[in-house]
Chains A and B, each alone.
Chain A
Amino acid sequence: MWNERPVRRVNTGWLVLVAVCCLLGGIAAARAATRAWLALTLTGVAAGLAAAARVLIGAGAWEWTSAMRVGGETLHLRLDSISAMFLALLCVIAGAGAVYSSAYWTDAMHPRSAGAGRRWWNVLVLSIVVVLLASNGVHFLLGWEAFTISAYFLITLDRDNPDVRRAGWLYLAVSHVAVLLLFTFFALLAVRTGTWDLGPMQERAELAPLFWLMLVGFGIKAGVFPLHVWLPSAHANAPSHVSAMLSGVALKIGVYGLVRFAGWLPTPPEAGWVVATLGVTSAVLGVAFALGQHDIKRLLAYHSVENVGIILIGLGFGMVATAQGYPAWGRLALIGGLLHVWNHGLFKGLLFLGAGSVLHATGTREMSRLGGLWRRMPWTTALFALGAVAICGLPPLNGFVSEWLVFLGLFGAVLSRGSSVWMAIPAAILLALTGALALACFVKVCGVVFLGAPRSETAARAHESGLAMRLPMLGLAGGCVAIGVAPLLVWPALSRAVGTWHGGWMDAAEPAPLMMLGAVQTGVLVIGGAVAWMLWRRVRAVGCVTAPTWDCGYALPTARMQYTAGSFAGIVTEWFAFILRPVLHMERPEGLAPQSASHWQHTPETVLERAVEPLGALVLQGAVAARRLQHGRVQAYLVYLLIGVALLAAVVLSGVSP
């Protein structure tokens, strides 16, 4: 028995090594040999997935230290069940995106950027692997920076377009605020603990205030409202497989940081409340902003804000439960949040790839120019619809399982009658509200983009995407169905992750009737299918004729008379006008023979335009003012030096230690 452990370690380690080598090889092959790149990347992610799966099914955590020094620190890698969860998600989305991109961003269509896109794709995946495995602050930061930069190059692949350049710059700037905060966080941590090595240090209560630094740093990456300012434009302007990666995985690495260090470090007593409040805010306002969008990818991007909110509700209540000692509902909420990480990666990846197919086929992201795509793109329509059902958290798919677990956690918090109830009641009500708003939003998207009549010539001439673009979507859709009908399959992995997060929550029994839920979800799927089949047969039996849509007696309907995305969401955007601040332009028809009339409504990036940009302008003004200090007169510089030395002397003499 005793010699089993080392053997197992070697296995996981070998898989990680194979994954890293294949991805590195992929970088070399990216420019010239597309097929070799694809094969190497797929092998790499398969090996990575196998390594993650080994840890998640209970082969134990993998840890590896080497005498080799990188950046002055010895190499220390660790793959435990929390990082394995995120690694598994990374590998799935990276594989799906790689296959998709081989047909979506080809050398023929993008001769300048396709090779670079493949290379940066692998760099991104590798740097995220480094972030997930690093058990040392320096290496974590190195990986983090590489991850940030490679994502920038992927976002700006199509950099001839000024919108793309602007989105990329915003992303880079905001991400570096996050990097700066994280650098401060890790540096302060290293100063206070005396080592850059990372690991559980819950007993060091004096580290708790560092939590706030980390919350903002990782929160920016995760796209928490109101730190999401970089997210909508970056997701909308990146190539679609990159959007899927950003939304499905990159945001989750922010979540990973939060989960990781909320588990390893002591947290201030009010931390859980703050995280849960941020979660609720992100969920409700994310979906409200999504409803106001007319650009399909920007809309999906705002839904990422919403779903990260749901994840944070789970994490926040998990933290509150840890602080107050309620393992029963705390586990449920945290498991719900962690499962939502996977689920959101799967269905949001699917939806972004679907949106990419639409963009590929029609050349526009503007929903008011689309419509009636189902006839030309039946596969994309069906798969997008499946993703929509999943993201609305409807049974029988995976989104419902995680939202249900979070709801159970919230109900448990209410029933525990502790002080957490004052947060749990509003959270439960607002989570229900969020679900209903998401449903409204996706009925709007599906209805306007895929159903009805085409609103433009390009939409009428759309074509279905090829097999290489459909297969990854099929795979992701399969994942959504599998987790939906058999949630018990992912239970052991989640249970281990939660056990790693909080040692005391390891061995408790299955807290929720997941078996029953799986059976019921399967039942819904089977019965729904059977009823649909029976009704279909009945319609065939009684006969079916086609006729134009009932037009209320008005005989000349045009496609432009269909309900638009803006009018569909009109009532809700009016409710949320206090924060959405929609811009309305209206030119009424006037006079006896009105010549022209127009009406459009647009929801701006309110937080960016009304909060961040004024703040940035203020900082710039301050910088301009400070520039007066530098004028080239040597005498004045000598005075500065003198004042500086005097201040230092005062500090040293007054006996304040740094």
Chain B
Amino acid sequence: MMIVLSFVARLAWWLLLAPLLPGIINKVKAWVAGRRGPPVLQLYYDLARLWRKQVVMSTLASPAFIVGPAVAWAAVLGATLLVPLGPAAGATLSFRGDVVLMLYLLALARFATTWAAMETGSAFEGMGAAREVTYAVLAEAAMIAAMLTLAVQTGSVSLATMLAPSVGTSAVLLAAGLFTVLLVENCRVPFDDPATHLELTMIHEVMVLDHSGPPFAAILHGASMKLLLFAVLVTQSVLPMGTYSRTMASIVLLVGVLIVTVGVGIVESFMARFAFRRVPLLLTTSVLLCVFALLVAWQGAA
């Protein structure tokens, strides 16, 4: 019974909490700009509306145009189930090597999304898909370096133990590196501008130009779950989660996720999107940050 309850609670955390994050980011941006901004719950309203709307499909698209978003959503959900929520709660599933599975499930989501984008034959969507898979190359390298850092710090290859103990001296580097990966993987400023309406300059938004109705709802919800996943990862990899009590850990996790989200909003308020030529440079910086974190962790653990 407890197992079922905790599973339901976890699902609720990932499924219900996730759409809150984009709302918070938008609210922060509005505050900084001195606007009222959309309500924090805007994405929930959007999802509910999209779920009831009719679908418009491109004449060129195959059934995989619908299957793609579904697979992407399921893959992100699968990845979230591997991420522990604090040391006491742990992850739904935990085994040696689950960290690699998490990374590759996110890659599966990328494959499904970009496949669906290529369905329409639109040059815009092709461009977005090309950018998405290209930037992911460097983001993937940074992620695996970050995960190696955590593995070296804890001597473990399982997320539940990798994220639990207090961190070493590399925390600042790791936080900076992972936060940059969060920004690129979730298509935020300075890599991508989720608010822009110019197709040529977008990555994620341009890939989903032709999606509508329930599949578009799945895409938006999946994207918000991915954002929450990265926020949870960043929080847990830099905070000494293992040293807190059960309730304390949950509160710390919530506050941490909130801080990361507000941080994304502040970055978006004060930075402009980079020119595409400079994006790989910043991404390489994030790879280097993670590699330096790894080297520092190596020295610290020796």
Contacts and interface: CB of A to CB of B under 8 A. Distances in A.
Contacts of A516: 93, 95
Interface in A405-431: 407-408, 411-412, 414-415, 417, 421, 425, 428-431
A330 interface: no
Given A433-B140, A550-B209, A542 B127 contact: no
A357 to B, nearest CB: 17
Contact of A446 (B73, B118, B124): B118
Contacts of B111: 389, 392, 394, 439, 442-443
A430 B291 CA distance: 12
B215 A539 contact: yes
A512 B98 CA distance: 11
B145 interface: yes
Nearest to B287: A429
A545 B121 contact: no
A569 B126 CA distance: 11
A375 B152 contact: no
Contacts of B95: 513, 516-517
Contacts of B66: 532, 535-536, 539
Interface in A533-571: 534-536, 538-539, 542-552, 559, 561-563, 567-571
A7 B129 CA distance: 60
A326 to B, nearest CB: 15
Interface stretch (B36-44, B102-110, B229-237, B261-269): B102-110
Contact of B96 (A512, A543, A561): A512
Interface stretch (B10-18, B57-65, B249-257): B57-65
Most buried by B among A412, A428, A431, A551: A428
B118 A531 contact: no
A393 interface: yes
B157 interface: yes
Interface stretch (B26-34, B48-56, B176-184): B48-56
Interface stretch (B130-138, B188-196, B239-247): B130-138
Contacts of A552: 124, 199
Contacts of A114: none
Contact of A439 (B55, B57, B110, B294): B110
Contact of A415 (B62, B123, B157): B157
Interface string A505-544: 0000000110011001001100110111011101100111
A210 interface: no
Given A394-B107, A453-B121, A447 B129 contact: yes
A435 B71 contact: no
Nearest to B118: A447
B101 A374 contact: no
Nearest to A415: B155
B58 A435 contact: no
Given A392-B107, A415-B152, A545-B54, A570 B130 contact: yes
Contacts, number: 253
B168 interface: no
B101 A568 contact: no
Contacts of A371: 121
Q: B interface, how many residues as a size bin?
A: 35 or more
Contacts of A546: 56-59
Contacts of B103: 432
Interface string B289-302: 00100100010001
A436 B138 CA distance: 8
Given A538-B51, A562-B121, A415 B71 contact: no
A535 B58 contact: no
A568 B130 contact: yes
A547 B151 contact: no
A443 B58 CA distance: 19
Q: A interface, how many residues as a size bin?
A: 35 or more
B59 A452 contact: no
A451 interface: yes
Contact of B123 (A446, A527, A545, A561): A561
Contacts of A512: 96-97
A417 B151 CA distance: 12
A539 B55 contact: yes
B135 to A, nearest CB: 9
Contacts of A451: 60, 62, 115, 118-119, 121
Nearest to A448: B118
Contacts of A372: 60, 121
A437 interface: yes
B141 interface: yes
B211 to A, nearest CB: 10
B148 interface: yes
A524 B79 CA distance: 10
B188 to A, nearest CB: 19
Contact of A429 (B139, B141, B152, B298): B141
A535 B97 contact: no
B148 A428 contact: yes
A428 B100 CA distance: 11
B101 A394 contact: no
Nearest to A559: B121
A283 to B, nearest CB: 13
A177 B181 CA distance: 47
Interface in B153-191: 155, 157
Contact of A527 (B67, B74, B139): B74
B114 interface: yes
A563 B294 CA distance: 39
Interface string B66-89: 110111011101100000000000
B282 interface: no
B136 A447 contact: no
B141 A432 contact: yes
Contacts of A140: none
Contacts of B117: 447
25 contacts: A374-B62, A378-B62, A415-B157, A428-B148, A439-B111, A443-B129, A447-B118, A512-B97, A527-B78, A531-B73, A535-B218, A536-B66, A536-B70, A538-B214, A539-B66, A542-B51, A542-B55, A544-B56, A544-B57, A549-B121, A549-B122, A550-B124, A563-B118, A563-B123, A572-B137
Given A535-B66, A547-B56, A563-B123, 18 more contacts: A378-B62, A394-B108, A395-B105, A408-B96, A428-B144, A429-B141, A435-B140, A443-B115, A447-B117, A447-B129, A452-B119, A520-B93, A524-B105, A531-B74, A535-B67, A542-B214, A549-B121, A550-B58
Question: Which 9 A/B pairs are nearest by Cβ-Cβ distance?
Answer: A563-B126, A452-B121, A447-B118, A440-B133, A432-B144, A532-B70, A436-B140, A436-B137, A535-B70
Interface of B: 51-60, 62-64, 66-67, 69-71, 73-75, 77-78, 93, 95-97, 100-101, 103-105, 107-108, 110-111, 114-115, 117-127, 129-131, 133-134, 136-141, 143-145, 148, 151-152, 155, 157, 199, 209-210, 213-215, 218, 280, 287, 291, 294, 298, 302
Interface of A: 371-372, 374-375, 378, 381, 385, 389, 392-395, 400, 403-404, 407-408, 411-412, 414-415, 417, 421, 425, 428-433, 435-437, 439-440, 442-444, 446-448, 451-453, 512-513, 516-517, 520, 523-524, 527-528, 530-532, 534-536, 538-539, 542-552, 559, 561-563, 567-572, 575
